[in-house]
Structure 1
Amino acid sequence: MKKYIVSILVLFVCATSISQNKKDVLLTVNGKPVYSSEFIRVYSKNLDLVKEESQKSVDGYLDLFIDYNLKVAEAHAEKLDENKAYIDEFNKYRDQLSRNYIYEEEVTNELAHEAYDRGLEEINADHILILADYEDSPQDTLKAYNKAKMVLDKARAGEDFETLVKTYSEEPNANKSAGKLGYFTVFNMVYPFENMAYNTKPGKISNIVRTRFGYHIIKVNDRRIRAEKISVSHIMIADNGEERTFDPKERINEISALLKQGETFESLAKQYSDDKNSAKQGGKLSSFRRGDLRAPEFEDAAYNLQKSGDVSDPVKTQFGWHIIRLEEKFPITTFEDEKEQLLSKLKGGLRSKMVTSALNDKIKELFDYKVVTGYKKYFNDELKTDYFGKDWKFADVDASKNKVIFKLDKKEFTYNDFGAFLTKGQRRIGGFKQKDNMLASFYDEFETFELLKYYKENLEEENEEYGAILNEYRNGLLIFDVMNENIWTKAKNDSVGLKKFYETIKNNYQWGERVEGVIYSATSNEAAKQVESLLKEAKTADEIKAAMNTDDTVNVIVSDGKFELGKRELPESFNAIKGVSPIYSKDNRFVIVNVREVMPSEVKELDAVKGKVMSEYQTYLEKTWIEGLRSKYDVEINKKALKKVKKELNS
């Protein structure tokens, strides 16, 4: 929630990486300069987000820009930038953001294209696993490989693969699973396994492939095109609703029956669906692919529909009951459409190590990397038995420990730095059986960590866009905190002030004329006349439903409650008179309303409109607060610079 609000608050970003002495000072806020380039950037970027036409002019937008900078100034004055929560969240975001800018482009793009191509297909395969750890002795490793080779020879000689799985596979639960993996696609398996599977033809058995789990033999059974993106419409009846007087399952079955009787999907969605957003569009949802939604039951039902216009039976999900209609099947998306998501997924697994290696080379070239050899012998001698007992410490006792291992520009990384890294690494030595392997692995980690850390520390200077976005989030967090402190929390806790404010605006919140009663929506004029006759006999709503509907046929849908004139539940030309109304017809719906009471227009109680009143109250408090900030802080505008800005933006 906080990140979402911050993204809305951040209307303005400051391009900090251009040398400030090359910019014109547009204004000063409490003595702090704000540059013309900053204003031009945010004005050009965010003009479409401004709703009021008066604020779209340079002068009007400048007022918003000043208010923004006043809020930042107040946040610093209240020392909100020193709060631990703020610092932690900013650092977390900076780390996440930097990952989007720190990668080796050529290698990354090659891997992204490979992943996209593989993602167009799904593979069905079985496998046999012979366990082997990278830390096993050479003798144990060879023994495991020879066993895998023996099993491979049997498989290629024609022996039954499932029997071989149950006889030789060391995968847990192999006897039960029979080594069957089902269908999978890119990123579902570790990279070496994926590589081998995608390079083995259906019906063939792969060569032996090594992963961190051991040696695998893969039998590829099938390859198929991956499911395309689809769009659907739905009618949803939620499990819980306001003033609900009916059973959701019964209602969805009634609607399903109406569809089978020829009612249109769009009209029923508009009239009955509890998904108000899609109901306005006749139930239409945004397109999706399998796995995009949080409702597998919904996806399964949607993908089981074969052609446009096909309609599902009622489907139960965590959100309620649905009827789904297939609208369209889309062609597979392009690489450019999926590029950002693919790049994000490349940051895990073996692919990430390939990217990291390329990135390390890039950083070394960028920052004049120099390495000094000799550390291996020194640390092999230092790592005595007590290191494996987790009691080892790299104490600074002799000058040799200040020797340089490598340099980046003028920054030196010493034996002491690596020793401290090794000290922390003792808790992770359980996975190593060979000291040489452990030392090499820890050194690679140490060097990668320091290279990346140094690059991040200098990234704002290296990448202008990154610096601007980072400053955007920095100020956005501060504005969230200062607004929360001075506006939102105050409004939430000030029940007395909220009530007083409500009294000044309550006439803006009125119920229209309403009726309390029962709406009977019939499928035909004849059915409506039957309802009319039953009402004259003083039959209850339940009695009318029982008389009109069967398990197979729904002739009337009944809704009991309070209904406002002009809303979708009542006919457009409905005349609010107590008693049984005449029959109203529209779009093949025939409606009768039994009005128990006509309720005149009246002011809505605070509890009924609290959210809207709270929003107005917060706006009022913010306006008053901003007026105070304008009095508290000096704001000076450089008219000459402003004139240049207007000329540039209007050219």
Structure 2
Amino acid sequence: MIKYFFGLAASLLFTYPLLAQRDSDVLFSVNGDPVTVGEFRYIYSKTNGEEATFSRESVMEYLDLYERFKLKVARARDMGLDTITALQNELEGYRKQLADNYLIDREVTDRLTEELYGHQQEDVDFSHLLLKISSDDPADTLAVFRRATEIRERLTPDNFAELAASLSEDTYSKPRGGRIGFVSAPLPNGMYPLEKALYAAPTDRVLGPVRTAAGYHLFVKHATRPAYGEVEIAHIIVRKGGDAGAEEAREKAEEARQAILNGQPFEAVAAEYSEDDKTKNQGGYIGFFGINRYSKVFEEAAFALTEDGQVSDVVESPVGFHILRRISRRGIQPLDQQRPLLEAAVKRDARYTDAQRAMLERLKQEYGTERMEEGLATYAAGQDSSFFDAQKELSFSGTADPTLLRIAERDFRVSDFEDFLNRNARLRASLQRRFDVSGATAELYDRWVNEAVQAHAEQQLEEKFPEFRALMREYREGILLFEATKLEVWDRAGEDTTGLQAFFDAHRDDYRYGPRARVLNVAVRADDSLQIDEVVAHLREHTAEETMQAFGRQAVSVEENLYEEDRLPEGLRAEAGARTEARIDPATGLTTLQLVREMLPARRKELAEARGYVIADYQDQLEREWVEELRKRYEVKVNKSVLNKLIRS
């Protein structure tokens, strides 16, 4: 909120004209088709990234580019390219590919990722009292819930530890009065409801019950602190369970620490003393970790190190005696850097499927989804055991096609349901192990409803998400631009041989070779009877082919290359007869050198030699001429007042 008001104040002070500008304002039009400020701002910002300063120079430059783009799109529509079935199918395929994940990403993944990142800014200290649920029986669940509610009536922050010590069914925290201590997000899989409740809770209040995969929790949040982040550690461990007793293990660890204090490198001491086979030969390196990964005493000792390179005292943990060395420490990284890891974390967690389910339930309510249960029961009653045959193609044979589902006043019928059943024939067959026909039909119907609701939501993406609408517009117009440019410019440049020749003749001096060297790469296989100087002498009077025939291709190879004068291989002068020093490669047994056969003077290229460059330049000229023709054909109107408000400096 503070950032919002600061930003508002800044805009009032420095960019007051922007307040009167809306995304729906028309910046310019081409042939009467408007381009809004919102559209231009989106594409300008996306293209320029961090350099999107909205300076006059950059806005005017991009405005010219976008005008040209829109002129070509207008021409494509006049050519009827937007009605071509193949292009429409390509666009629909792209939309489906984009929409498949877009809704879930925006409605579920992004929200959970940002929420988790917010949770990770703090560590939370809490205690809980857990009551486990012994079965999936709803009666058992209700009984545990009622017991949790009854216990909560008796709980206060003052007596929480006492009651948790006697009533909690969490064997880890029960001996400590339910005290968990500080934790960081995410909590273990299945514990998201508790995590969400913890981060939203005030301190020193008993709350719950909260249902998780473990059972019902009653909890009290004691405190929060800025997140510890992660520490990068190397360690040396002497285990308690070895041949030596605990005291001898401690003495050995103290001996190792003294060796470090005496100046021996930590890595060398780790290799000699540490009993962690995975890390001892890597300098004891463990890597980065946060809280709740290792034992409390180990973590406390690691995070207590205040400087990089600092070495701890000998620290006793349940498994042995440790010496820790801090390598570095890092706080919570910016969201853009953390996003891939956080997205992976939420997708592995039950919170992801729960959020998807909740999203679908919300959408069902939003669209007014109506289930026709009686029609489903009638359909199921008409099926027999062949319903589970994956090879059977289900096909409704009645005179009417009853409605089974209605979404936003659109009816889905039995035939639509059977299309779904046939697309999921394997799933249909697999349900025979768990359901009768009626149960399997109900299970598949639920999945069909979810699929239909999600598909309906995806059809509304352009209305709900401006960015999706912009992406689709960008791709749609990009297809049209490509096809129009191909027909009007690229194909013409490649096929108009007369025009290409005329363009080349008018620009002959633009396509030239500079001075070049014809260089021979000579390789001679090691042989006492054959010296490379003998081969070079022969090459001065004969061709490469004649030389290889004379000495034998098994003994000598000669390859020819052309080099620009300023790009000659290292050690080679730009004059005929120049050569590099011979080099012997012991691995291959070859002696090699490079020899300048001749120097070629600068000259103009012929069309065949410069064809690729000439076509590219000819295309550029044709495109410039095309744009000028389009500017004469289609009127471009720029709203100067709107443009001036868009420019910031």
* Structure-2-length-normalised TM-score: 0.49
Higher relative contact order (CA 8 A, sep 6+): 1
* Structure-1-length-normalised TM-score: 0.49
Q: Whose radius of gyration is greater, 1 or 2?
A: 2
